[in-house]
Amino acid sequence: MDVRAIRRDFPILERTFHGKPLVYLDSAATSQKPRSVIEAEQDFYTRLNANVHRGVYALSEEATDAYESARTRVARFLHASAPEEVVFVRGTTEAINDISLSLSRGFLSRGDRVITTVMEHHSNIVPWHQLREHPGIDLQFVDIDEDGRLKMDDYDRLLTRSTKVVTLTHVSNVLGTVNPIREIADRAHDVGALVVVDAAQSAPHRPVDVQALGADLVAFSGHKTLGPTGIGVLWGRAELLAKLPPAQGGGEMIREVHQTSVGYREPPGRFEAGTPNIAGAHGLARALDYLEGVGWDELRSHERSLARRARERAEAAFGPRLKIFGPADDSAREAVLSFQLDGVHPHDVASLLDAEGIAVRSGHHCAQPLMERLGVPALTRASPYLYNTVEEVDALFDGLIKVDRFFSKATPSSAPPADHPRASPV
Ligand code: C6P
């Protein structure tokens, strides 16, 4: 994989901050965009802009064609049985909210169990919490072991005949853990439960083959997968989508509306109320072209070499004073590197690294139950991607050494550099 050539496709990487070249290590929050995606959005507004599925005029038909061909492109990416299994949404958050709302209208009743895990992002926790009040579901969390992997015996203990939904992330946005979705789905199906998979952190790094995963509903976000913000995907098995009521109502999702009744369109239209993000879908299709053009194996081996370098540098510079969370075995995880540097608050780490032009995320990473389970208030996270280099990993660790020196010298009265005030703790 030619990282130098890839970097040339991402114009934002030419920027400098505080006089230093940008080292962007926050791709788990959102990835940067290649020129082909930026141009696709521009192309849509320059040449194709019209609303979809509404006009009989040629321009609207072209816009509709672009939108529907993006759906076909996503279906190919996911190995879906048909494009109709692909619903465009704003992102993973909206997809899971739509799923939980839809399931609360007839499928879930009081006392039904929904199993999730302690490593979920809030977008796969809060929508289910909301169903605790109505219709009154029993929400349970599978625990993790010391290596950051799901405890499968805990899952088996929780999985009862009253379980109606098992909903979990494919890859943790904090631990990097890759969950055994197929095994989990097979066991869930044995008790008749539906399986929902949050693929927000897997789609950017590995094939999300919905047939191989064995899930019933899968969500991912375009913006983490080289695509635009505001576009994402909810995939569902055709026979399931055909039975689910829509979560949202409005224009375009109806067959007919009268004063006393409403009839819905067939999927996927039924789940796409209102004007969709047409330009976003068009851009997402080009993002998937780019990603698959790089190749999953090449991407994987590149990301692993970055993770390996990070571990070596961490060990050499800090030993046990720097703890990287999640599986020790690189084959059981993605290169999402959340860590704690002894004696320095994660927000201080991130804000001092910013002075070096290095962008990492700090905080609870929208995973507070996981932070509680790990017994930490917050972590710093470096999430490299296809455009990052070994030199950038080195820059991160050179920066961390400076941070560490700064804090080991710091007395209670010493202040951080004036242009980078110490961030307040979470
Ligand atoms: N995680 C992170 O920095 P949206 O915001 O809808 O595109 O994605 C939500 C989401 C859902 N599941 C997982 C596993 C995620 O990681 C995210 C987004 C970002 O970790 C932003 S909080």
Residue boundaries of the structural domains of the chain? 3-30+296-408, 37-292
Most informative mutation of 224, 336, 338, 370 for ligand 1 (most atoms within 8 A of CB): 224
Alpha-carbon distance values, 221 to 52, 130, 215, 226 (Å): 21, 22, 17, 10
Is residue 234 flagged as an active site residue?
no
Q: 29 CA distance to ligand 1 centroid (A)?
A: 6
Nearest to 191 by CA among 110, 97, 115: 115
Instruction: Please identify, by atom number, the ligand 1 atom nearest to the C-alpha of residue 221.
Output: 7
Contact present, 380 and 349 (Cβ < 8 Å): yes
Superfamily for 3-30+296-408?
Aspartate Aminotransferase, domain 1 (3.90.1150.10)
Q: What is the average per-residue pLDDT within 271-290? A: 98
Distance from C-alpha of 285 to C-alpha of 279, rounded to nearest angstrom: 10
Instruction: Please identify, by atom number, the ligand 1 atom nearest to the C-alpha of residue 26.
Output: 3
Ligand 1 within 6 A of 97 CB? no
Instruction: Please identify, by atom number, the ligand 1 atom nearest to the C-alpha of residue 223.
Output: 7
CB neighbours of residue 174 within 10 Å? 28
Tell the residue nearest (CA) to atom 19 of ligand 1. Answer: 29
Return the CATH architecture of domain 37-292.
3-Layer(aba) Sandwich (3.40)
Instruction: Please identify, by atom number, the ligand 1 atom nearest to the C-alpha of residue 229.
Output: 7
Q: 305 CA distance to ligand 1 centroid (A)?
A: 24
Distance from C-alpha of 176 to C-alpha of 157, rounded to nearest angstrom: 24
Most informative mutation of 98, 123, 379 for ligand 1 (most atoms within 8 A of CB): 123
Q: State the pLDDT at residue 425.
A: 35
CB neighbour list of residue 138: distance below 8 Å, 6 or more residues apart: 111, 112, 113, 114, 162
Question: Biggest alpha carbon distance in the chain?
Answer: 73
Given a cut of 50, whether residue 413 has pLDDT beyond it is: no
Q: State the pLDDT at residue 423.
A: 41
Which residues sit opposite 263 in a β-bridge? 256
Distance from C-alpha of 87 to C-alpha of 78, rounded to nearest angstrom: 12
Ligand 1 within 6 A of 198 CB? yes
Distance from C-alpha of 280 to C-alpha of 44, rounded to nearest angstrom: 9
Given a cut of 60, whether residue 325 has pLDDT beyond it is: yes
In the chain, the N- to C-terminal Cα span, in Å, equals 39
**Is the torsion defined by CA of 268, 273, 277, 278 positive or negative?**
positive
Given a cut of 70, whether residue 420 has pLDDT beyond it is: no
Ligand 1 within 6 A of 201 CB? yes
State the pTM of this model: 0.95
**Is the torsion defined by CA of 395, 400, 401, 406 positive or negative?**
positive
Ligand 1 within 6 A of 197 CB? no
Ligand 1 within 6 A of 177 CB? no
Given a cut of 90, whether residue 169 has pLDDT beyond it is: yes
pLDDT one-digit tens code per residue, 124-157: 999 999 999 999 999 999 999 999 999 999 999 9
Q: What is the average per-residue pLDDT within 192-203? A: 98
Instruction: Please identify, by atom number, the ligand 1 atom nearest to the C-alpha of residue 92.
Output: 6
Q: 394 CA distance to ligand 1 centroid (A)?
A: 26
Q: Which of 38, 366, 371, 376 is catalytic?
A: 366
Most informative mutation of 181, 338, 366 for ligand 1 (most atoms within 8 A of CB): 366
Contact present, 153 and 143 (Cβ < 8 Å): no
DSSP structure string for 312-381: HHHHHHHGGGEEE-S-SSGGGB-S-EEEEETTS-HHHHHHHHHTTTEE-EEE-TT-HHHHHHHT-S-EEE
Q: What is the average per-residue pLDDT within 4-13? A: 98
Alpha-carbon distance values, 344 to 76, 338, 368, 400 (Å): 45, 14, 20, 10
Distance from C-alpha of 104 to C-alpha of 144, rounded to nearest angstrom: 28
Q: What is the average per-residue pLDDT within 348-363? A: 97
Tell the residue nearest (CA) to atom 2 of ligand 1. Answer: 29
Ligand 1 within 6 A of 364 CB? no
Given a cut of 50, whether residue 237 has pLDDT beyond it is: yes
Which residues sit opposite 382 in a β-bridge? 337
Q: State the pLDDT at residue 410.
A: 66
Ligand 1 within 6 A of 96 CB? no
